[in-house]
Amino acid sequence: MKELTFYGRGGQGAVTAAKIMVGSCLKDNHYAQAVPSFGQERKGAPVYSYGRISDEPIAAHTYVYEPDCVVAFDWSLLDLGINFHKGVKPGGILVANYNGELPKGLKQYSKIGLIDAWAITREVIGNVPPNAAMLGALARTTEWFSLISLKEVFVETMPGRKGEINALCAQTAYERTSIIDERD
């Protein structure tokens, strides 16, 4: 079983991203679940969501405390004292919405996927949450679910043009994600 923690701020789409990831995993014949966690439930407040992907039925329905993968929608959460690196399993994966030189001290990750999700989202869709771009980067970095299933879920759950442009945004992010593989 693979466990993920999504870190973001209210309004960035981290909770929705976990739900869409589940739909993609189900299409790829995996078991999956999303477990949201809400704090103050206001725009800009820290938000966490958890996910699991498995080839077997999933019995656990708790938060994830030692993720295999961290999905960081907002790097500035570190400035608030939220250490999304804490508890990551050895050899874990980081998918980060990050624009700049990679900071030092990320040796606990075996693979890092970097994407400027805000820029891609603005370019493809407009001024909306970057969850489609983050999911494209997650699919590319982890290879735990396919881009094809992700695009299908967007088209099926968001009728018309909205689903099509979200699928395009995910594909664009998938293609532009920079992968740093510490095993190389």
Average pLDDT over the chain, rounded to whole? 92
| Complete DSSP assignment for 102-158 | PPS--TTEEEEEEE-HHHHHHHHT-SS-SHHHHHHHHHHHH-SS-HHHHHHHHHHHS
User: Which comes out higher in pLDDT, residue 86 or 174?
Assistant: 174
| Dihedral over Cα of 130, 52, 71, 83: its sign | positive
Range of the domain at 142: 2-181
Q: pLDDT per residue over 81-132, tens digit each?
A: 999 998 999 999 999 999 887 777 788 899 999 999 999 999 999 999 999 9
Domains identified in the chain, total number = 1
**% of the chain residues with pLDDT over 90:** 79
Determine the pLDDT at residue 184: 46
The CA-CA-CA angle for residues 137, 178, 73, to 5°, reads 45
Determine the pLDDT at residue 150: 98
Give pTM, 2 decimals: 0.94
What's 19's domain CATH number? 3.40.920.10
> Does residue 36 sit in helix, strand or coil?
strand
